[in-house]
């Protein structure tokens, strides 16, 4: 499992702090092309994002997010876990090219390094094809896991 590393920069995201993963760690567990949705480099992150699917995992919230990247005007999707996170919680983006049936591509799992922060996966471009669907999945150290509905 690739651990999400705390970058020098943190962003305030609602009531929680968002810890940015290191590019090296993130790229190693998500097939190209993928981006950091919360990049603070002008035009490289995702703007105007919204939650498109939601689920729960214990007291945590799983979110599938989508937004447009100004750099290439493409829509991207990614997974987030929030709430009273623990340093061992993890999150992944799953992608199905068959409408939600196996096989899946898994982008992650990315581990929350700092308790109470929002964990997130790398972002992948969405597709206009109805058979290409995304979901957010989370996993706790207890072994409990859950996913949002497909979107």
Q: Count CB neighbours of 123 within 10 A.
A: 31
Domain interval for residue 96: 10-147
Return the half-sphere exposure (C-beta side, CA atoms, 13 A cut-off) of residue 119. 34
Rounded CA separation 2/5 (Å): 9
> Is the separation of the CB atoms in 37 and 28 below 8 Å?
no
Do the domain assignments include residue 52?
Answer: yes
Q: Count CB neighbours of 119 within 10 A.
A: 28
pLDDT at 5: 24
Neighbouring-strand partners of residue 131: none
3-class secondary-structure state, position 27: helix
Question: Number of structural domains, the chain?
Answer: 1
- What's the chain's Rg over C-alpha atoms? 14
pLDDT < 70 stretches in the chain: 1-29
Do the domain assignments include residue 4?
Answer: no
């Amino acid at each position: 499992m690739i651990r999400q590393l705390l970058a020098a920069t943190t962003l305030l995201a609602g009531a929680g702090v968002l810890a940015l993963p290191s590019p090296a760690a993130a790229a190693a567990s998500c097939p190209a092309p993928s981006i950091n949705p919360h990049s603070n480099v002008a035009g490289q992150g995702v703007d105007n994002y919204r939650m498109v699917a939601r689920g729960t995992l214990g007291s945590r919230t799983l979110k599938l997010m989508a937004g447009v990247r100004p750099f290439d005007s493409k829509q991207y999707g990614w997974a987030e876990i929030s709430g009273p996170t623990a340093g061992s919680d993890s999150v992944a983006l799953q992608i199905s090219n068959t409408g939600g049936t196996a096989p899946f591509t898994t982008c992650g799992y990315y581990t929350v390094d700092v308790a109470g922060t929002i964990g997130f996966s790398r972002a992948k471009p969405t597709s206009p094809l109805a058979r290409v669907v995304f979901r957010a999945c989370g996993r706790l150290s207890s072994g409990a896991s859950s996913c949002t509905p497909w979107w």
